[in-house]
Amino acid sequence: MRVVVKIGTSSITTDLGSINSAAVGALCEEVAELRKANHEVLIVTSGAVAGGVAALKLGKRPTDMPTLQALAAAGQSRLMQEYNVQLDRHQLVGAQVLLVPNDFIDRHQYLHARQTLLRLLELGCVPVINENDAIASDEIRFGDNDRIAALVAHSVSADVLILLTDLKGLYTADPNVDPKAVFIETVNADDELLSVRAGNSANSVGSGGMASKLAAARIASWSGVRTVIAAAQRKNVVVDAVNQVPSAGTQFLPRQRELTARKLWIAFAAQATGSVTIDDGARDAVLRRNVSLL
């Protein structure tokens, strides 16, 4: 089984903003367990900017772009160093992969990145993926690493995508605000995904919230990838999510009829650069009969 695990900034940093060695170590220990069971694992990790804040002793996260990019450069090396130390304990080799939006938008770059990731898996490496925030041209984030994780899961034809967060999974409301919020164990169909609403994260160290995780789950669902949103601090959370233990988190089942690889790339990765005007007959052909106009 091929597994993509995404962990957010708040899950791998301390209250002071520095990289939490114990949290990274716990994740890498679970990765080692999966590898022993002959599963392939890719890690998508946040934490570079937070690592830079701690390294330079700034106290709080700045908001201006040049400083954020500088902090990402300072923090990424420290983040990867921690992963290397923890993976080395299990005789595993980490391989840093930094991606930018164009690696998904440009079809040639997309296929090249896919080829590299698959070759790393063939060599027995554990790809450790992050956005290359230091040179991002438009915004400091692609959208967030949840979306990157979903696109990576699609590109390598993963079997399961695990999004680790501070909550057990998806609730009917924010459990931090509403004591009557009910945990949702399984989301079955894509129309349910579209109807669920969620707020964004309010923490000061991360960029993604539950809404971004739902968006990632939609991409994965269309890709035929099962998704689990789960609590990073739960013991054996990754292994249990792979093994479909009900209490591991909220499980999003994939669509029965997934899109082709190229259609998925067009839908979720490619950048629209023009428009096409069609008549009612052509519209019906596309929407109702799934017919190409080309």
The mean pLDDT value for 181-197 works out to 72
Q: Is the pLDDT of residue 177 over 60?
A: yes
Residue 157 lies in a domain: yes
Instruction: Give the total number of structural domains in the chain.
Output: 1
Tell me what pLDDT residue 151 has. Answer: 93
Residue 272 lies in a domain: yes
Residue 233 lies in a domain: yes
144 band by pLDDT with thresholds 50, 70 and 90: confident
143 band by pLDDT with thresholds 50, 70 and 90: low
Residue 8 lies in a domain: yes
202 band by pLDDT with thresholds 50, 70 and 90: very low
Q: What is the CATH number of the domain that holds 73?
A: 3.40.1160.10
Whole-number mean pLDDT of the chain? Answer: 86
Q: Is the pLDDT of residue 264 over 80?
A: no
pLDDT in tens, 228-240: 999 999 999 999 9
Residue 294 lies in a domain: no
* 56 three-state secondary structure: coil
- C-alpha R_g of the chain: 19
pTM of the model: 0.85
**Beta strand 160-165 pairing with 2-7:** parallel
Tell me the residue range of the domain where 241 lies: 2-289
From 63, 197, 196, 191, select the one nearest 139 (Cα to Cα).
Answer: 63
Q: What element of type H or E holds 109?
A: helix 107-122
287 band by pLDDT with thresholds 50, 70 and 90: confident
